Structure formats: structure tokens, C-alpha cells
Amino acid sequence: MRNGFVLFDGAMGTMLQARGLKAGAFPETYNLTHPDVVRDIHRAYVEAGSEVITANTFGANPFKMKNIDVEAVIKAGVRLAKEAGARQVALDVSAHGVLLEPNGTLSFDEAYENYAQIVKWGAEAGADLILIETMSDLLEAKCALLAAKENTTLPVYVTMTYMEDGRTFLGTDPVTATVTLSALHADAVGVNCSLGAADMLPLVQKICKYATCPVIVQPNAGLPKVKDGKTYYEDTPDLFAAAMKNIAMQGVTILGGCCGTTPEHISKLKQMLEGMTPTERNVPAYTAATSATKTVFLGEEVKVIGERLNPTGKKKLKAALIEGDIDYILKEAIDQERAGADILDVNVGLPEIDEAKTLVRVVKEVQSTVSLPLQLDSSSKEALERACRIYAGKPIINSVNLKKESLDAIVPIARKYGASLVGLCLGDTMPKTHEERYAFAEKLVRELTSRGIKKSDIIIDCLVLTIATDSTQADETALAVKMVTENLDVRTVLGVSNVSFGMPDRLKINAAFLGKCIHSGLSAPILNPLVEEYAEVLQGKLISLDTSAYFTFDTGGAEGIRGMIFCGVVGGIEDAVREALKTRSPLDVINEEFIPALDEIGVKFEKGEVFLPRLIAAAEVVKKGMDVLKGPEAEGGEPDVILATVKGDIHDIGKNIVKMLLQSYGYKVLDLGKDVDEKEVVAAWERTHAPLIGLSALMTTTVPSMKRTIEALHAAGADAKIAVGGAVLTPEYAREVGADYYGKDARETVKIAEEVIRHTK
Amino acid sequence: MDVSLVIKDALRYLGAKKRDIEAEALLRRVYEGNKDTFSPRAVYGLYEIDTYTPVVKLRGYAFSLEGESIRRHLQGASHALLAAFTLGIAVDKRVRELSLARPSESVALNAIASSYAERIADEMLLEERKKIERDGYKTNFRFCPGYGDLPLKTNEEIAQALNAQKKIGLTVTEDGLLLPRKSIVGIVGVTKEVEK
């Protein structure tokens, strides 16, 4: 509009339903079957004053519309809007309607390909902009936004839809979505659907506070009501326009309607907007990192970045990364979250592995399990680019330095993906004094902003050097932090524990240094949040891990190792095992303590005298005990058992229980995870020649996939025994799919393993 | 919601055969500690039955309800109430997280969530049925895809017709799995009450 507002249209879906569209049918097919109906609706909106008409392409996606010419549907959709006299046409894009991996089975790459295809067709048909709307999954919204930006030159608007609790179905809040999507260069961000205009106001206020681009709002016409068997929406055009006035006053400039709104609503909205001028918004600069469900702002109070997902000096994590033991890595992430970390640093750099591939896998899994934002820690351009791409938020990149190669490689990635960027005070020389550090920091800020990084996205690492070689280093670093904070007005991070490298009594030194740096204004120390000494320094900000909250079953006699296992007592098992090792061999401890205790509880489980959590608690205790026997070195060697939940099935609780119990009996398990392609199972067998393969399926629909996997194994000449299990399986089913064994439950599977592996060894 | 009934069902899922006070206490603790992740939502659609042969068809519903079992379930009914329900994604994430942090709690929570979902879905559905019954109808119980010969693909069709992804965040994978995991789709028969 002349006064600076942009007026969109209202609903299409509910209008089509009113004209006979059947529930469950694709409204978009009307573009081909009933073009007049669609054009008429568009025209009514044009006449009501809509400047942008949204093409009827909301659900037009090759993923959903099988056996339909989606290209024709999309192109007709854009054309009909134009024919109706639209001044501008928005290509309407929305969700796939299924969950992305690893929560669901749709891969990011597949989703991207679909979106890329959709936006290309839309652009070819002459759409003027792309509206990505009604999104619940921030990662999917990001995927669509990237596809739109990378395959067209059109402006892209993104709106998410929130429930009355202020979150999307997948838990994203409006601040997080706004910070993330504006950093990703959306041309407008906002909210649509679900709520009426009045209920949307608090969400809109949050969005307006953080959006660095224009804000778009398209509410429903209130809530749907049913009267005389007919659905209607409670907000009349007048009510709608009145509520939209409050929304416009927050600084929203792009307005329209969603479900239940009609040309009358838009017409009233137009009249209302004609009497207003856009409210100017002042968005203060902020430094932030987001996950899909959380935003962490740096600068106000100290935020802790957990350092434990970094293989340097950690043998077990190193082994887990090499073997692809994702559960171990996730456990480290969860422990840090529970200990109070605010952000997690993720570093998987090892010469033995493909860093980019591993970082992508670890980020995918970690972000679907913990809710903390991640700091992607790598010097590999490829690893950072690929991880930033599939990361469901605004990450921090750690780090760039003043060397030209580093700047050239890292800055474009940070800029493209809107990441916050750690600038490390390092160049062709290493700074020694606080003055040198400050000079480096100043130069970094200048260099990075000139290359297009926002100043508020820069976080300076003043570089911690050990006091073992130069005792002044702690003070010099702390002073530099103070100068950078006060004079440059940027946020800071520090890898605190480097200060004591090569020194005795490291934790005390680290804790003292941490206190000094916090006093100097440090925004975010990178440290191990599980260390109590730090927690004290952070003054109750960190809560230590409460291991006493584990289940215990006080059925008496929790004495000795067998008693502890039997009763599920985790605390103390490690000491008890260490004590036993003074007089007995590890094998004796396993055979005389672990196995009999597990057998005892297993028999009770079979008889129904104890229930499943109890059996698992026993296995947990054994696992802890086993760690003592194995020592910090992860064991090598080929697995005894390969486990997988078959393709198409993402249930893994049962499989994980089997794994845990097998491990507690001392079997080495290679866990391929869930939704595993048959080829992957065959490849794992060819690599390891494990004598037993366990396959799990929980749904009748995935039993065929189990059968295919077994056939593929046989075709590949695998002589391994195959055991199958899962809720829908029966001994008959097991035979039918060609399995050698039917594992009724975890306990049964252990017996199968005993039989098979005894035979082969 | 009677929590002790939820716990009783969960115990049964977990293979407890005898009454076990400790096990109950444990499940109660897990329930209390994690009930914040339950966010039950439902969406309904009431459709007039068009025809029973050769398959059940509803007016304004794009698919059909196949099989003998659903025909019997809807025998004599004038309408079918389609219902989709979910406990939300947060509990799935918590179960996953606990499976790594505290496996025994994870298994317990998984069972509790299943039994809670069944019961709360029934409670919510009952509310909806009461509304319909006030207008002079009687309603029967929830019949779910997979019962008898009602095909599983009906899950996806009903979810699509009710716009369940948009309305309550319920999705269906290509293999027919409902996500979030603790989700239920069902069909209730609605019959005009005959004046006595």
C-alpha cells in the first residue's frame, strides 16, 4: 500500500471446502480440475484490495502428491493468480507433513530436492515471491528457505505456526524461529494460522523484538466453531480488523489472513490499514545461538559452553567416533545438558575418520536429543559448511583467525548460514601480552565486519596459553577479555582449561582462572560442566549431576557385586569391582559375579516376578562394572552381534534393550541403529563377519523389509545366524521371513547369543 | 485422569504379573517427573454415512472405509465420527533421552505414556461423544485401523482428511507409522436415537 503496508489475501482451503472440496482430497488439484473456482476466489481477494495473491500451491509437493503432475499443478496455480489480476503472486510452500530424520524417515537432502523442484517450477511460472508458511519444524523451514534462496532470486517470506502455549508442535518458540530465520536472510519472518489475531499478539510482540527483517502476520479468523453441522470461524471481519490493528501497531508491515478469513476480512483490514502508518521498530543488536527450541543470548549472564564433545585427550570418545557409537556421544551430550551447560561445543576432528561426514551425523543426532544450541568446532571448511546446513538453528562456528586462508574459508560459511563466529586472537604470530591480544581482536572485528559479518555475531576468543611456560599468561588473557568487552563491545569465549596445560592440580588452577575471567566480563567459558570446582565458581549456576536419582530397588541384600546388580544399585559398583580385582581376574569377576546376578534377575523376569525396568537397571549396573574391567581403553576387535531396526521402522527401544543386555553379558555389539537399509546390514556383515545378526521390526508394515534384509544377507552368502524380534513378530513370522531364531525378548536373545557364539568360537 | 489406572496398565505392558508396590512407586515417580512432556491434543470430524456397499463411504470424505469389520462397527449408524489424537512429540524425545541417560526410566516412561495416551484419548473422545449425544444420538466405541480387516492405510487417510498434521501435529510415515509415537486414530459410529 502507499503508506508502506503490504496486504496479502486470506484463506483458500476453507473457501474451497465451502465450494465442495472433500476432506482429505488435495485442494491444489482444483488448479487443474476446477480452475474457474480457484480464479474466482483469487479475484474476490484482488477486488477486496489484496496486493499479493497466494497461489493455490500450499500442499503441492512431489512427496505428497504421488501420481499427480505436480509441475502442472504449481504452474497452473501461479497462472490462475495472475489471471485473476494479482499485482504480485506468492508461490505458497509448506511442510512435507512428515517428520525429518532422525525423528522421522524423511532425509534433509530429499526434503531439499523437493523444495528446490517446487521453487524452480514456481519461479518459471512467474511467481514474484515465495511464501513458506504454516511451518512447525524449524529445520524444515530452514531447508525450504535454503532451497528457495539457492534456486531462485525471489524474495522469501517464512512464517511458523504456534499453539496456544507459544510453541510449534515440535517445540520451537517465536524468538528462536525469528533469530534463526532472520539470520538465514529470510526477507520477512512471522506467524500464521492456528490462532486468531487477538491470541497472536504476545507472539507477535516477541517476533517484532528480534526480527532484523520485516514481519509478516496472517492469523486465522479466530477459532473454528460448529453450528448446525457447519463449521464457521468466530472472528467477524470487524473483529478481525480490530485485532489486526494492535498487531500492526507492533511494527508488523505485511498482513493477511489464514484459515476462515474471507475477502470481507481482507477488505476490512485494508480500510483499517489505510488509516495507519507503519510503526517503526528498534531491534537492539544481540549475540545469540539457537537450537530448534531454545535461544541462548550471550552478554548478560555467563553462559557455559560444554567442552566434552571433543576427542582431544579422550580415548573413549575417540573410540566411539571411530566406531560410530552414537549412543556414547549422545550420553556425553545429555550429561552436560543435565549438568547445566548452555551450549555444547562439538568437535569430531580425528585423522582416522571423515570429519565432514561424522560431524553431520553427530550434529543430526545431538540436535534431536538435547535442546542446547551447538558450537561447531572445526577448521575444515567442508565439515563446517555441511554441518551448518543441516543444523536446526543458528550455530556458533569455532573458529576463524586472522590468517588469510582461515578468513577466506570460514567467513563465507558464517555469513551464508547466519552463524555467530568465534574470532580467535591468532595470526601469523601468537599474541603474548594483553595489548597484542587486544590489537588482534580489534583487527578481527574490523576484518570480519568488512567481510559482511555483523558485529553482534562476532565472539572473540582472547587465546588462553598455559602458565606452565609463562606465568603471566593468565593475567594477560583476563585483562584482554576486559578490554575487548569494554572497548570493542563484543562478546567473548575462552577455552579455560588450556591455562593449566602441563601443570599439576589443574582443576584448582582452572577454577581460579575461571573466576578471574568472569570478573573481567567473560561471556562464555568453554569448560567441562561436570566438574564441581567450576560449578562453585559459577555460583550455583551449574547444578552437578545427581546420580543418586537412579533407580534403586531396595529388596534387601544389596551387598557385594551380585547384590548391587540384583538390586540395581549404580553408586558404588565401580569401587566394588576395583576391590574385587585385587584378588580376582576380570574374567572371574564376570563369571562369578556379573553373569550369575544377571541370570538370577533374568529368571525372575521370565517368571514375571520382576518387571522390565528392573532387568534393565541390573544391566546398567553391570555396564558400569564392565567399564572398570575394560579400563579407559575401549576394546577393539570384531563384534559378536550386529543389531539393526530394519528399514522403514524407527522404533529402537526394544533393540536398545537387547543391546544393553547383550553387552552386559560381555558380547561386543555393533549397533547400526534404526531405519537401516538392507545394504547397510550386508555391508556390516561383510566387514565384520559377525556370527549373529539381530533384526528388529515393530510394525506389520516393516516385516517385509525384515524379509528383504534376510534375503539380501543370504544372497551375499552371509553364514551368520539371524535372530529377529519385535512386537508384531511371532515364531511363525520369524520362520516365514527366513530367520534362524525368534527372540521373544532381550533375555531370550542372550540365550540365542550364547548358543550361536558358543558354536562358532 | 486416574493415575493409578494408568500405572496399572503400564505395569501390565512391562510384564509385571504380581502386585508389586515398589514397581508401582517407581512408575509413579517416573510419571510425576515426566508428565510435563504430555501434551494431548485431538481433532475430530463428523461425517454423514453415504453408503455401505460395496465399501463404507462418507459424504464429503475423499476416501472409503474398507472391509467387513468397519461395516459392522457402523451398522445402523447415520454418521461416523473420525478422531485423531496425539500425546505430542516431547514425550518421544524424553523417552529417547532417558534411554541414554537412565535406561530403566526410559522403558518405564514409554509404558506409562502408552497407557496414558490410551486413557486420555478415551476421555477426550468421551467429551466429544457426549456433545453429539446431546443432540439425540448414541455413539459406540473407538474402532482403530488395524482392528479386524480395516486396513492400516486408513490411519493416513483419516489424518489427511482431518488435517491432523496442521491441527495437532500428527504425521504418518510412508510405512504407516504414526508420529509422534503415542498417537491414536479411530472411528466412532453415531446412530440416531429412536424414540421409545
Confidence of residue A550 (pLDDT cuts 50, 70, 90): very low
Q: Which among A722, A725, A727, A754 has a CA at the least distance from the CA of A599?
A: A754
Are B14 and A611 a contacting pair at CB < 8 A? Answer: yes
Comparing alpha-carbon positions, the chain A residue that sits nearest to B168 is: A169
Q: Does A314 touch chain B (CB under 8 A)?
A: no
C-alpha cell at A310: 571433543
Comparing alpha-carbon positions, the chain A residue that sits nearest to B163 is: A24
Q: Rank A124-138, A658-672, A719-733, B135-149 by mean pLDDT and report only the highest.
A: A124-138
- What does the pLDDT read at residue B52? 93
Are A551 and B105 a contacting pair at CB < 8 A? Answer: yes
Q: Which one of B88, B103, B168 has the shortest CB-CB distance to A620?
A: B103
**For residues A143-149, average pLDDT:** 98
- What does the pLDDT read at residue A546? 34
Domain spanning A20-214: CATH superfamily = Homocysteine-binding-like domain (3.20.20.330)
Residues 6+ apart with CB under 8 A from A351: none
Q: Which among A188, A137, A184 has a CA at the least distance from the CA of A160?
A: A137
For chain A, where do the domains classified as CATH 3.20.20.20 start and end?
A: 301-538
Confidence of residue A636 (pLDDT cuts 50, 70, 90): low
Report ipTM (2 d.p.): 0.88
Are B108 and A330 a contacting pair at CB < 8 A? Answer: no
**For residues A316-341, average pLDDT:** 92
Give me the CATH code for the A549-630 domain, please.
1.10.1240.10
C-alpha cell at A103: 525423528
Q: Other CB atoms closer than 10 Å to residue A714's CB: what's the count?
A: 13
- What does the pLDDT read at residue A7? 98
- What does the pLDDT read at residue A569? 75
Q: What DSSP line would sit under A673-696, residue for residue?
A: -SSB-HHHHHHHHHHH--SEEEEE
- What does the pLDDT read at residue A539? 67
Are A608 and B16 a contacting pair at CB < 8 A? Answer: yes
- Contact residues on chain B for A330, CB-CB shorter than 8 A: 100
> What is each CA distance from A18 to A228, A298, A352, B44, in whole angstroms?
15, 50, 62, 18
Backbone angles phi and psi of A320, in degrees to 5: -65, -40
Q: What is the pLDDT of residues A210-260, one digit of tens each?
A: 999 999 999 999 988 877 667 789 999 999 999 999 999 999 999 999 999
Are B103 and A657 a contacting pair at CB < 8 A? Answer: yes
Greatest pairwise CA separation for chain A in angstroms? 91
C-alpha cell at A506: 589443574
Confidence of residue A552 (pLDDT cuts 50, 70, 90): very low
DSSP summary character for residue B141 = -
> What is each CA distance from A585 to A573, A592, A747, in whole angstroms?
16, 10, 26
Residues 6+ apart with CB under 8 A from B143: B69, B70, B73, B150, B186, B187, B188, B189
Residues 20-59 of A with CB under 8 A from B: 22-25
Distance CA A204, CA A174 (A): 8
Rounded to a whole number of angstroms, the distance from the CA of A616 to the nearest CA of chain B is 5
Q: What is the pLDDT of residues A590-631, one digit of tens each?
A: 888 888 888 888 888 888 777 888 888 888 888 888 888 776
CATH value at residue B181: 3.40.109.40
Is 0.80 topped by the overall pTM?
A: yes
- What does the pLDDT read at residue A653? 78
Q: What is the pLDDT of residues A337-362, one digit of tens each?
A: 999 999 999 999 998 899 999 999 99
Q: Other CB atoms closer than 10 Å to residue A708's CB: what's the count?
A: 16
C-alpha cell at A433: 601480552
What is the Cα A723 distance to its own chain's centre? Answer: 33
Residues 6+ apart with CB under 8 A from A590: A626, A629, A666
The CA-based angle A376-A377-A381, given to 5 degrees, is: 90
Are A22 and B60 a contacting pair at CB < 8 A? Answer: yes
For chain A, where do the domains classified as CATH 3.20.20.330 start and end?
A: 20-214
Backbone angles phi and psi of A653, in degrees to 5: -65, -50
Are B103 and A616 a contacting pair at CB < 8 A? Answer: yes
Secondary structure E strands in A243-364: 254-255, 287-290, 295-298, 305-309, 343-346
The CA-based angle A323-A325-A330, given to 5 degrees, is: 145
Domain count, chain B: 1
SS3 content of chain B, % helix, strand, coil (to 5): 45, 20, 30
Q: What DSSP line would sit under A16-81, residue for residue?
A: HHHTTPPBTS-GGGHHHH-HHHHHHHHHHHHHHT-SEEE-S-TT--TTT-TTS-HHHHHHHHHHHH
Q: Does B132 touch chain A (CB under 8 A)?
A: no
Q: Which one of B15, B99, B106 has the shortest CB-CB distance to A611?
A: B15
Poorest-confidence range of A62-66, A694-698, B172-176?
B172-176
Contact between A459 and A287 (Cβ < 8 Å): yes
Distance CA A322, CA A310 (A): 13
Are B101 and A338 a contacting pair at CB < 8 A? Answer: yes
Q: Does A342 touch chain B (CB under 8 A)?
A: no
C-alpha cell at A226: 460448529
In CATH, A641-760 is 1.10.260.30: no
For chain A, where do the domains classified as CATH 1.10.1240.10 start and end?
A: 549-630
Q: Does A552 touch chain B (CB under 8 A)?
A: no
Helix (H) / strand (E) containing A407: helix A404-417
Which of B137, B177, B187 to mutate to probe the A interface, most A CBs <10 Å? B177
Structural domain span for residue B171 = 3-192
Backbone angles phi and psi of A624, in degrees to 5: -60, -40
Are B177 and A619 a contacting pair at CB < 8 A? Answer: no
Domain spanning A301-538: CATH superfamily = Dihydropteroate synthase-like (3.20.20.20)
Are A104 and B161 a contacting pair at CB < 8 A? Answer: no
Residues 163-192 of B with CB under 8 A from A: 163, 165-166, 168-169, 171-177, 179, 181
Q: Which one of B60, B93, B176 has the shortest CB-CB distance to A23?
A: B60
- Contact residues on chain A for B169, CB-CB shorter than 8 A: 136, 168-170
Distance CA A677, CA A687 (A): 16
Residues 700-719 of A with CB under 8 A from B: 700-702, 705
